[in-house]
Amino acid sequence: MGKWTATLPAAPKGGLGVDFAEAADSAVRMNAAKPQVLCWQMCDAVHIDPATGKHYLMGCFSNIRARQFPTVHRRMVWFLTLTDVGVGKHELKVSMGTDMEALKPLLKRPFESQSPLHKINLINDMHNLPFETEGQYTIIIEVDEDPILATTLGVSG
């Protein structure tokens, strides 16, 4: 079998050609983009298949129920996938509350990005979360003190 080759035409004079390798390197060096949330999911558990590295999210939900208040939710997992995160060390912070003025930080954790082009999966095991009353709880997700997502968790009786 012969080797397959392709010949690209030379860039026209006047600088209209695009050097894609140079453009990608430039994008990686810039690190100016705000981190983007690709996935935010609350669930009961996350399994990572050792053979494939695939993440399996089990028991996904967007609200919870309780028989009485105050109550404590014994365990949930917050699964988050980020991209456009600048190279280096960063801090994830997740706060929650019924009032935007009284949000409580529930999670602070460091993580590292090798490239803004990477997808970073962060699995956060949350235990014994207290809920004083039923209602809509606001969740704010921040990277390096910069809010990147606001969402809610409904809690009902």
pLDDT surpassing 90 at residue 53 = yes
Q: What is the pLDDT of residues 63-112, one digit of tens each?
A: 999 999 999 999 999 999 999 999 999 999 999 999 888 899 999 999 99
Residue 58 CB partners (closer than 8 Å, separation 6+): 43, 44, 45, 46, 47
Q: Tell me what pLDDT residue 33 has.
A: 79
Q: Which CATH architecture has domain 34-156?
A: Sandwich (2.60)
Q: Does residue 12 have a pLDDT over 70?
A: no
Lookup: tokens for 14:
């006047």
Does residue 6 register a pLDDT over 50? no
pLDDT tens for each residue of 16-51:
555 555 555 555 445 457 999 999 999 999 999 999
CA–CA separation, 64 vs 134, rounded Å? 10
Q: Determine the pLDDT at residue 21.
A: 54
Q: What is the DSSP letter of 50?
A: T
Chain center to CA of 48: 17
Start-to-end Cα distance in the chain: 69
Angle at the Cα of 146 from the Cα atoms of 155 and 127, rounded to 5 degrees = 35
Q: Is the pTM of this model over 0.85?
A: no
Could you give the CA distance from residue 94 to residue 143 in angstroms, rounded to a whole number?
9
Two tokens at 87? 């190279």
